[in-house]
Amino acid sequence: MKFTISTVFALIAVASAFSQGDQNAFLRARQAATQGQVDASVPAMTDKNGNVVPFDATKVYQDALAKGL
C-alpha cells in the first residue's frame, strides 16, 4: 500500500513539474529542428557531409572514386 501511494505521489509530482508552456516550448524547438528534413515516405541518402537529402541517382557521392581507388 505504501508503494502505491508513493508511486501515485511521484507521478503527480512529475506531471506537475512540467507546465504546458514548457511543453509547448519543447515542441516548438523540436519542430524547428526538424524543418527542412526529408519526409520519411520518400527515398533519402546522405551527402558527403552527412546531411540527409532526397535521393538523386546523379548526385550519389562515391567516396572510392573521390579518393582515386
User: What pLDDT digit, counting tens, does each position of 19-64 carry?
Assistant: 777 777 877 777 766 656 777 788 888 877 777 888 888 878 788 8
DSSP state of 44: E
| Predicted local distance difference test score (pLDDT) of residue 34 | 61
C-alpha angle 11-14-16 in degrees, rounded to nearest 5: 105
CA dihedral 48, 53, 57, 58 (to 10 degrees): -60
Global confidence as pTM: 0.38
> Does residue 13 register a pLDDT over 80?
yes
| Predicted local distance difference test score (pLDDT) of residue 36 | 64
